[in-house]
Amino acid sequence: MTESCDMMKTLIEAIHSTPTQAVLYIAGGASHTVGWLTSIPGASNTVLEAVIPYSRMSMIQLLGKIPSQFADMRTAEELALVAYNRALKICKPGCPVLGVGFTGSLATTRPKQGDHRFHMCTRTSNRLSLSTVTLSKGLRTREDEEIISSQFLLKAIASASKAPADFTTELNEFDVCTETESLFKEDEELEQLLSGKICFKAYNFTSERQALSAERKIVLPGSFNPLHEGHLQLMDVASSLLGDGYPCFELSAVNADKPPLTVSQIKERVKQFEMAGKTIIVSNQPYFYKKAELFPGSAFVVGADTVVRLIDPKYYDGSYDRMIDVLCQCKSTGCIFIVGGRNVDGVFKVLEDINVPDVLKDMFIPIPSDKFRMDISSTELRRRLRA
């Protein structure tokens, strides 16, 4: 027993030593997994969030629908996808993320008509792993089945985290384990993004290793058609102004006024950031109140022209109150805006020239015009290239 505990401790230490950060949604079994993970020092490196949606209503609210069954492989896969998207939103910038889903139907106080079984799924950016274990009925107590299911889930987390796993789980000849795995190519990930299945895909091309310790993202959204020196200079100034943060550019593949980008178009624009050695996140949200949900606690780097549109009631069905309400929701996520000067209707304006409502003023931080000013736009650059 001591040898088994030592092996498990070694396995958990190996998981915590990887950069992978995970969200776990576990129902119907594997109850020891979270306790084991958090009992070993370094858990904050791995566990972002752990939720046990044990009741019917908890599961329905987490999935946003009534599952066809509460303990089957499809529900475990759906839980893993929800967990993966959640992990993307709250992970430390630059870290790979993991979504974990588990559902089980184990021994109870009354005899079960169906099998004693559990299903688990792990989702990373490019891999989906599924496992179902059917246990022999009547041979183990509930606690025994909890331990076995917890061990299996821990090994699945280690495998998804690429941690070395020298730990065996005990099944007898009557138990049945089935496993499948799917790998995603880049084009498939981007198709999942465009369909709304995943909320964003990050390309970490940065060589600024010190930024990896930052907790907050500094996000500069744009179409980047093309990426130009003004974008890079603006990010540099905003980053120096804030002092601490992970600089990343954000490209929305979905536009409110234009058709969505194609996979090939996304890859072409991403290539610019690979050449520049900068991190780019491709999302599917064109609106800032949705971006704030994707990147909670972030600092968005924008031009004065964007601020003018942000506070214009015409973009909120003509309602001033709705504009205030929507932007206050952004504020509640902890997001702020770093504002650079830009041409607005032919006039160069800075934040101080814009009448921002008092309730929103603390969300906006100006970049002094002597720190940054570049009047050329991507539209003008494209016109020059065509000429």
Q: pLDDT tens across 33-49, in order?
A: 999 999 999 999 999 99
159 or 109: whose pLDDT is higher? 159
Residue 179, Cβ neighbours under 10 Å: how many? Answer: 12
Q: What integer best gives the mean pLDDT of the chain?
A: 92
Looking at the structure, give the CATH architecture of the domain made up of residues 2-183: Alpha-Beta Complex (3.90)
Q: pLDDT tens across 264-296, in order?
A: 999 999 999 999 999 999 999 999 999 999 999
Highest-scoring range by mean pLDDT, 111-115, 169-173, 334-338: 334-338
Coil vs helix vs strand at 127: strand
Burial of 118 (0-12, 13-18, 19+ CB in 10 A): buried
pTM: 0.93
Residue 129 has pLDDT above 70, yes or no: yes
Residue 28, Cβ neighbours under 10 Å: how many? Answer: 22
Coil vs helix vs strand at 176: strand
- In the sheet with 97-105, reading across from the earlier edge strand, the strands are 47-51, 21-27, 97-105, 116-123, 127-135, 176-183
Instruction: Report pLDDT for 3.
Output: 62
> Where does 187-386 sit in CATH, by number?
3.40.50.620
- Report domain extents, the chain: 2-183, 187-386
172 or 274: whose pLDDT is higher? 274
Instruction: Report pLDDT for 385.
Output: 55
Task: Read off the pLDDT band of 10 (50, 70, 90).
Answer: very high
Task: Read off the pLDDT band of 381 (50, 70, 90).
Answer: low
